[in-house]
Amino acid sequence: MRRLRIRRYLAAGLLVWIPLGVTLFVLRVLINLMDQSLLLIPSALRPENLLGFRIPGLGVILTFTLLITTGFFAANLLGKKLITAWESFLARIPLVRWVYSGVKKVAETLLSPRNQSFRKVLLMEYPRKGIWSLCFQTSSSLGEVQARTGQEVVCVFVPTTPNPTSGFIILVPKSDVIELEMTVDEALRMIISLGVVVPDWRREQLPVAESQEVL
């Protein structure tokens, strides 16, 4: 009895400290990464040299300031012209243009407020019929693929677990996927936790006809 109680207390303690420890670790990595932006400041003017000690987190402020300033500059007419000229210069460098144009296209796709990429969580039968996998819709306008298949096709990203940053894309008929109500964040938590963390969902939300099929 005493052993079971100790085990329960140990599990409760781990449930408090493990999420907190992982959160603090991730925050520390991100803050240290953004603190590297202080290297843009001349050595004599850096806070640690002026004050004699390092202040963690100053790089976060500088990083956001740089991003906002750059965004403001890029949004005006002069900034757009300079960026266009800079990109034209990069396009003349063989290796650089491939990397730069590819990364920029992905960034534009993900950051565009009108874009539908990674806005929907889908369920599809993969890798074979009867086995279901979570996936994210990345595109619904597939040009030649759409025309040659003769049906409405969507591009989905099937992530691996527990690392959802890797995976593969599949072009699948829209009729073969089911759109879920869970958010992208909820789906990612489910994938990272190996299916242990399942989003809350009320069964009565399912239409009557579908709920009868499930039963």
Strands (E) in the chain, as ranges, are: 121-125, 132-139, 153-159, 167-173, 177-179
Per-residue confidence (pLDDT) for residue 89, from 0 to 100? 86
SS3 179: strand
pLDDT at residue 117 tops 80:
no
What's the average model confidence in pLDDT over 180-184?
Answer: 90
Q: What mean pLDDT value characterizes the chain?
A: 81
What's the average model confidence in pLDDT over 182-199?
Answer: 88
ω before 162 within 30° of 0 (cis)? yes
pLDDT at residue 214 tops 90:
no
Is residue 178 a contact partner of residue 171, using CB atoms and an 8 Å limit? no
Which H or E element spans position 17? helix 2-35
> Would you list the domain boundaries of the chain?
25-95, 121-201
What's the average model confidence in pLDDT over 107-121?
Answer: 69
| Range ranked top by mean pLDDT from 31-40, 73-82, 121-130, 192-201 | 121-130
Per-residue confidence (pLDDT) for residue 112, from 0 to 100? 62
* pLDDT band at residue 97 under the 50/70/90 scheme: confident
Q: How far apart are CA 207 and CA 214, in angstroms?
A: 11
Which H or E element spans position 145? helix 144-149
What amino acid occupies position 21?
A: G
Per-residue confidence (pLDDT) for residue 215, from 0 to 100? 39
Q: Which residue has the higher pLDDT, 134 or 164?
A: 134
Per-residue confidence (pLDDT) for residue 41, from 0 to 100? 81
Q: How far apart are CA 155 and CA 135, in angstroms?
A: 10
What amino acid occupies position 33?
A: L
Q: How far apart are CA 164 and CA 201, in angstroms?
A: 22
pLDDT tens digits, residue range 27-70?
888 888 888 887 888 887 777 777 777 777 788 888 888 888 88
pLDDT at residue 125 tops 50:
yes
